[in-house]
Amino acid sequence: MNPLFSDNFETPYNSIPFNKVKPEHLQPAFEKYFEESRKIISEIIENTDLPDFNNTIVALERSGYKINLLAGIMFNLNLAETNPELQSVTKEMSPLLADFSNEILLNKALFTKIKQVYETTEKSLLDTEDKRLLEKTFDDFARNGANLSDEDKAEYRKISMELAAFSVQFDENVLAETNNFLLHITNEEDLQGLPDDIKTMAAEEAKSQKKEGWVFNLQFPSYMPFMKYANNRKLREKLYMAYATRGIHNNKNNNTEIIKQIVNLRIKKSNLLGYNDYASFVLKNRMAESKEKVDEFLKQLLDASLPKAKQEVKEMQEFSKISGAEFDLQIWDWSFYAEKLKKEKFDIDDEMTRPYFELEKVQNGVMNLATELYGIRFTENKNIPVYQKDVKVFEVFDKDDSYLALLYMDYFPRASKKGGAWMTEYLQQHINTEGENIRPHVSLVFNFSKPTHDKPSLLTFSEVTTLLHEFGHGLHGIFSNCKYQELAGTNVFRDFVELPSQFLENWAEQKEWLEKVASHYETGEKIPDGLVDKIIESRNFNAGYFSMRQLSFGLLDMKWHTLNGVYDDDIIKFETEAMKPTQLLPKVEGTAMSPSFSHIFSGGYAAGYYSYKWSELLDADAFCYFKEKGIFSKELAESFRENILSKGGTEHPMTLYKKFRGKEPGIDALLERSGLK
């Protein structure tokens, strides 16, 4: 019996029975629910009653719930715990999902009914959320080809299926490239400069692969410490070159042609829909609204960041010479000398703070912060099935003890898992047909350093910030209180979705919170005041450089997606030109970001990477308000929950933000916080 055929999984909170679900269950389940959804669509079209909001718009929205559930299982597992069978199913089903979506969006009879409801409904009689769903449904159809000719609809469907397939292949290639490289060290002298903890981790990695010595790889907990601490410059260069050439080797994992295909297909799609380029199509439904506004925003930040970044590079070059460097600073030298300069200026480095950030204690500290602000609580439940043995699951309860959500926490890297960190959902919050508030199942995925035989997982300060960031996304899903999945949780404009996550990062630099969270993993001793002061004092170290780095990704993204003609030139040449305004160190020949830039070629941030900086503007302004009222203000937290976290995409983001803040945000708070003013 296929467990995915059942509406009731007979698990706590009807959670996904990961212990029973196999890759071979997915395709038959999709086929079953495709047919069920088609039946509902037919009923909508054939209904002889006058089309109205409930029998057309709401019925349509609910028709895809089971398909959304299946897609969540498949795509989430393919990123977090994949295998060849799952990759094969995902590759096969992705184009079919895209085609099924188009089958609905391009259905002329269905759109005729939607248009009739849109044009005849007295919108003043609808509540805010109903009105938003009506507008979004009509807009989604119009923006996705409903008004095209039959010939163009056929072309649109073909393009969508191809894009879906290329997107999956892109991610698969990046994962393969990441896993294909190992830096195997057998001479202990090559480990000079590395902290003992990092050497132990590398030795255990070697042992797990039945190798002598030490093994480093391209997963971040292994890659980054090596780049920061290894004295052996040639090995730093070797590791960097492996990382920065993923997807451009002359092998089956090469992504350069896939990039051209994706970019050109997006241009075709945009042109079919009446737009000059893909960015114009995407930004019509964003806070930024147009590519001109994005360009203006990025330029404003570039102008503010460049002088400080140049000063930082000059200082680093001088410091490297004083430290004995007989070469010009290259990109594989930056982290190494930056860590030494930070130590000299502020007497702090990651290895000084790491013993105070034991993963479990930080996790509890982040959860306690949510409790202090919002009154919610978390209880681990070991009876809920998980997709991998290290994953933890927590029940989340509101301040009145009512059940709010399930929260999956997946902390450690593995070969079956994509790099980076992200939040996702297996079940989105919504109100079902019986009026029951179905609560979400939220998942936070990380790639933190694993525990070793003698130490627990100890986080860098940057990883503490990452945990807060993803937890902020998690709260956006957990607190969702909307009627419709389509508008719930993180289903908001892309340049608004990072506000809750980046907002929560601010507590990482607050003394009152750090003192509650950080204690030595062996002695239990609280983090010394002096060390907390150093964390806060050093927070803007290289702020200009890091701002330029983020801006370089934003500029590259916009350059790819403002193309308005077929691109068939050299990827590296294109990228070098796009990132030229932010180039601070010599360009390394043969390297490229684009072939592993999953955010924009497979992760939904196409023409949207600028949103990280855009959301920084919002979160800096929002936290400035908290600093005025008190960083643990329950009154402000309740307002943030009510006006931002619980509302999903039920209103325009700026409307929601102004309800919380009382005004639109300004850039001053961001520039001041970053030391760029």
Query: Do 54 and 125 fall within a single domain?
Result: yes
Summarised one tens digit per residue, pLDDT across range 556-588 is 999 999 999 999 999 999 999 999 999 999 999
At residue 600, does pLDDT exceed 90? yes
Query: Do 29 and 93 fall within a single domain?
Result: yes
Query: Do 334 and 371 fall within a single domain?
Result: no
Query: Do 262 and 321 fall within a single domain?
Result: yes
**Burial (0-12, 13-18, 19+ Cβ within 10 Å), 640:** buried
Share of the chain above pLDDT 90, in %: 99
Task: State residue 57's pLDDT score.
Answer: 98
The arithmetic mean of pLDDT across residues 620-631, rounded, is: 96
Query: What type of residue is 99?
Result: D
Residue 155 lies inside a defined structural domain of this protein = no
End-to-end CA distance of the chain: 63
Query: Do 501 and 459 fall within a single domain?
Result: yes
Summarised one tens digit per residue, pLDDT across range 418-454 is 999 999 999 999 999 999 999 999 999 999 999 999 9
Query: Do 218 and 363 fall within a single domain?
Result: no
Q: Where residue 388 sits, what CATH number does that domain have?
A: 1.10.1370.40
Residue 327 lies inside a defined structural domain of this protein = yes
Query: Do 507 and 445 fall within a single domain?
Result: yes
> What amino acid positions are annotated as catalytic residues?
470
* DSSP state, residue 429: -
Q: Where residue 10 sits, what CATH number does that domain have?
A: 1.20.1050.40
The arithmetic mean of pLDDT across residues 152-181, rounded, is: 97
Summarised one tens digit per residue, pLDDT across range 443-483 is 999 999 999 999 999 999 999 999 999 999 999 999 999 99
Residue 154 lies inside a defined structural domain of this protein = no
Alpha-carbon distance values, 155 to 138, 163, 263, 310, 670 (Å): 21, 12, 16, 48, 44
Q: Where residue 317 sits, what CATH number does that domain have?
A: 1.10.1370.10
Summarised one tens digit per residue, pLDDT across range 28-48 is 999 999 999 999 999 999 999
Extended strands (E) in 338-429 = 377-380, 392-397, 403-410, 422-427
- Counting Cα atoms < 13 Å in the Cβ hemisphere of 72 gives 21
Distance, in Å, from the CA atom of 389 to the CA atom of 411, rounded to the nearest integer, reads 11
**Number of structural domains found in the chain:** 4
Task: State residue 207's pLDDT score.
Answer: 96
The answer to whether residues 610 and 279 touch, using CB atoms and an 8 Å cutoff, is no
Instruction: Retrieve residue 569's tokens.
Output: 């030139």
Residue 165 lies inside a defined structural domain of this protein = no
Residue 672 lies inside a defined structural domain of this protein = no
**E strand or H helix at 442:** strand 441-445
Query: Do 363 and 233 fall within a single domain?
Result: no
Residue 125 lies inside a defined structural domain of this protein = yes
Which residue, of 563, 585, 609, is where some domain finishes?
609
Which residue, of 219, 244, 269, is where some domain finishes?
244
Query: Do 375 and 291 fall within a single domain?
Result: no
Strands 377-380 and 422-427: unpaired
Distance, in Å, from the CA atom of 673 to the CA atom of 677, rounded to the nearest integer, reads 8
Share of the chain above pLDDT 70, in %: 100
Residue 176 lies inside a defined structural domain of this protein = no
Instruction: Retrieve residue 423's tokens.
Output: 């939040």
Task: State residue 474's pLDDT score.
Answer: 98
Distance, in Å, from the CA atom of 664 to the CA atom of 356, rounded to the nearest integer, reads 38
When the pLDDT of each residue in the chain is averaged and rounded to a whole number, the result is 97
Residue 675 lies inside a defined structural domain of this protein = no
Task: State residue 49's pLDDT score.
Answer: 97
Query: Do 363 and 453 fall within a single domain?
Result: yes
Query: Do 384 and 480 fall within a single domain?
Result: yes
At residue 650, does pLDDT exceed 90? yes
At residue 249, does pLDDT exceed 90? yes
Query: Do 187 and 203 fall within a single domain?
Result: yes
At residue 677, does pLDDT exceed 90? no
Alpha-carbon distance values, 75 to 69, 104, 299, 474, 592 (Å): 10, 21, 36, 18, 26
Summarised one tens digit per residue, pLDDT across range 276-327 is 999 999 999 999 999 999 999 999 999 999 999 999 999 999 999 999 999 9
Summarised one tens digit per residue, pLDDT across range 90-147 is 999 999 999 999 999 999 999 999 999 999 999 999 999 999 999 999 999 999 999 9
Summarised one tens digit per residue, pLDDT across range 72-89 is 999 999 999 999 999 999
Which residue, of 212, 244, 276, is where some domain finishes?
244
- Domain with 529 in it: 355-537+612-665
Distance, in Å, from the CA atom of 49 to the CA atom of 61, rounded to the nearest integer, reads 18
